[in-house]
Amino acid sequence: GNSVTQMEGPVTLSEEAFLTINCTYTATGYPSLFWYVQYPGEGLQLLLKATKADDKGSNKGFEATYRKETTSFHLEKGSVQVSDSAVYFCALRGSGGSNYKLTFGKGTLLTVNP
Amino acid sequence: DTGVSQDPRHKITKRGQNVTFRCDPISEHNRLYWYRQTLGQGPEFLTYFQNEAQLEKSRLLSDRFSAERPKGSFSTLEIQRTEQGDSAMYLCASSPGGRDNQPQHFGDGTRLSIL
């Protein structure tokens, strides 16, 4: 079946530091890939997506590139802010018969200190 | 801009009681999903509706769980005879029909605590 593996957290950074959160996946066919962010007490918000190999998703300074050869979708941001503190989830949606449900990683807690 | 709405936000109940949660999707989204999220984990898929038809149920959804979407708009998730292990955040999401790569939009969830 489909699966997503994220780097273990928590990740603690100082403001303006560079962020990378690793995500790799296992899936058949051509899945779509997503990063969601969850702030305390809230639901998940879509951060960015990529639907085919070599696509780069970007939003609010965050970027991730769909790498089929390494089955990866790492999240990066060049300069984090305190307001970026949240839990980040990598997710995939399979192709073919299971192309509606999302499979999530366990999430990575990011804390950014001033 | 109305997003996905879930009610209640929090539910505390005693073991053995029945609970029901409601989800109102974004209007005109004909796909609706339920997920369960336990502490420190990512959400896990429970079930999926396209309009009023329930097209898939996860094995996580025991026979104590039932979900409905009677008119293809709002949905309810009922848990009968609740157990300690049912304590979790229950998330609802919706997406438009048509193209399969449309993202799912999530509500803020209902947090269930079983005493």
Residue B42: which of A93, A95, A106 has the nearest Cβ? A106
For A93-108, what is each residue's pLDDT tens digit? 988 765 788 999 999 9
Answer whether B106 sits within 8 Å of A36, measured CB to CB: yes
Best A34, A36, A44 residue to mutate vs chain B (most B CBs within 10 Å): A44
**Alpha-carbon gap, residue A77 to A19, rounded angstroms:** 5
Q: Do B49 and B75 form a contact (C-beta atoms < 8 A)?
A: yes
The percent of residues in chain B predicted with pLDDT above 70, rounded, is: 96
Q: Rounded to a whole number, what is the distance in Å from the CA of A51 to chain B's nearest CA?
A: 7
| DSSP single-letter state for residue B58 | -
Q: What is the pLDDT at residue A82? A: 96
Residue A84 · residue A75 · CB < 8 Å: no
**Beta strands across the sheet bearing B75-79:** B5-7, B19-24, B75-79, B65-68
Q: B44 and A104: CB-CB below 8 Å?
A: yes
Per-residue confidence of chain A (114 residues) as pLDDT tens digits? Answer: 889 999 888 999 999 999 999 999 999 888 999 999 999 888 899 999 999 999 999 999 999 999 999 999 999 999 999 999 999 999 999 887 657 889 999 999 999 999
Residue B4 and residue A4: Cβ atoms within 8 Å?
A: no
Q: Which of B26, B30, B45 to mutate to test the interface with A (most CBs of A within 10 A)?
A: B45
Name which of A4, A87, A35 is nearest B103 in CA terms.
A35
| Closest in A43, A91, A103 to B109, CB measured | A43
**Would you say residue B1 has pLDDT above 80?**
no
Tokens standing for A108? Answer: 């990575």
Query: Between chains, do A32 and B101 touch, taking CB under 8 Å as contact?
Result: yes
B104, A102: Cβ pair inside 8 Å? Answer: yes
CB atoms A99 and B109 under 8 Å: no
Q: Which of B37, B95, B104, B105 would best serve as a mutation to test chain A binding (most A beta carbons within 10 A)?
A: B104
Residue in A40, A35, A38 with CA at minimum distance from that of residue A104: A35
Reading the block at residue A73, the tokens are 């979708």
**What are the tens digits of pLDDT across the range B34-89?**
999 998 899 999 999 999 999 988 888 889 999 999 988 999 999 999 999 999 99
Task: Say yes or no to pLDDT of B32 above 60.
Answer: yes
Position A97 scores a pLDDT of 65
Q: Rounded CA gap, B43 and A19, in Å? A: 23
pLDDT at B43 (0 to 100): 95
| DSSP state letters, A37-105 | EE-TTS-EEEEEEE-STT-EEEETTEEEE-BTTTTB--EEESS--GGG-EEEEEEEE-SGGG-SSEEE-
Contact B111, B80 (CB under 8 A): no
**For residue range A8-22, what is the model confidence (pLDDT) as tens digits?**
889 999 999 999 999
